[in-house]
Structure 1
């Protein structure tokens, strides 16, 4: 793929962690300017759930990437894997087979046990998208997911306690670090009431490191994350 090819990308505001995982990746990779990004309205009558997007991605989720030949790729990790191989630059998913395996291991741990748990609580405990979209309420399951997220965050906190800056111990963040950053951001979304904050000393230091990265700040430039410390920064 040439660097002059502009790809179509369909996302949601930075409040939603999956499009945001991709958006941070694009800035870390240095290819954010290679995309024509369309940010969808997620309301019950919004574009994300209308037929034009459902023809691209019947699951109706974002992000969705359109390739020049008309192929569509969705699911964040799949889109990122494609782009990391298709574009030059450092490999965000790991430079070596070992690092790629370790990055995938940590990404799965964080996505399944922390971020997705918080997302589930957002939907079934807090009805985060409102009653017209949230068809299931389960307070017991939502509370279980909230506690699971905190328990597994404690394991990540312990992993970071040896002084490493990033999960794999290198000088630059990999995709698992990006997933963890979006998990922290979404945990601070006020309705979630599960902030991964200074109670987790090493996670909080990790979060502060991200906020000093220009790529991270650029990815939250829309100031629509719902997290005051990101949206209200100078």
Structure 2
């Protein structure tokens, strides 16, 4: 198995945490993609993922799987250890719901802010920017942090009692927010405490 990624980027971080949670990091080969020089837009890479995004999982039979949720689904089923996707029908549904909310309400909103309202990855790669849209998404991300603070006031993890893909996605979103200079307000005490606890997990602290 191979993982094509860019180390320390938010979406690749999600997969590296998932692998570490399953103690499977040594079971894959990481291949660095030179994103800053446009490797992700080459014909060779687009054959792996036509959406030009990282990470991409390549299986031993030549199958390519992109999208973090799909890759995590594969990792969760392929390796032993606590499930990241849930076991019961209810647990799987709640985790799926909360992971989607973490993705759309925080991570994707932060990404849009970064790529449109800041210098992003630079003029060579940011060939189109809509600053007003980027600012709007930045505000959306800031507002939605309150929602997750309220969730974590009542729950140990984002989707219940167990650490899951929903926690991984939200954590990556907060890492990206910090990189994009979107600060977490000090009054979001539950979110901040959760972030500190996740950062201390061996799967995260060891990256």
Judge conservation of contact 1:197–1:203 (CA < 8 Å) in 2: no
| 1:13 is aligned to 2:13 | no
In 1, Cα distance between equivalents of 2:67 and 2:160: 27
Match runs of 1:162-181 below 5 Å = 162=154, 164-170=155-161, 172-181=162-171
- State whether structure 2 residue 176 is matched by structure 1 residue 183: no
The 1:41/1:197 distance shift into structure 2, 3 A limit, reads: farther
- What 5-or-longer segments of structure 1 have no aligned partner? 1-6, 220-234
Aligned-pair CA distance for 1:197: 4.8
The answer to whether the 8 A contact 1:127-1:137 is kept is no
Deviation at 1:18, TM superposition (A): 0.9
* Preserved contact between residue 4 and residue 56 of structure 2 (Cα < 8 Å): yes
Aligned residues between the structures: 207
Give the alignment's TM-score, normalised by structure 2: 0.94
Would you say 1:213 and 2:201 are equivalent positions? yes
Unaligned regions of 5+ residues in structure 2, if any?
Answer: none
Cα distance in 2 for partners of 1:113, 1:103 equals 15
Distance in 2 between the 1:33 and 1:175 partners? 20
Map 1:1-234; keep pairs closer than 5 Å. Answer: 7-14=1-8, 16-43=9-36, 45-162=37-154, 164-170=155-161, 172-189=162-179, 192-219=180-207
Q: Is the 8 A contact 1:8 1:35 kept in 2?
A: yes
1:228 maps to what in 2?
A: none
Q: Measure, in 2, the Cα distance between the counterparts of 1:52 and 1:135.
A: 21
Partner Cα separation in structure 2 for residue 100 and residue 183 of structure 1? 21
Report the structure, 1 or 2, having the larger helix content. Answer: 2
SS in 2 for 1:10: strand
CA RMSD of aligned residues (A): 1.4
Aligned to 1:188, the other structure's residue is in SS state helix
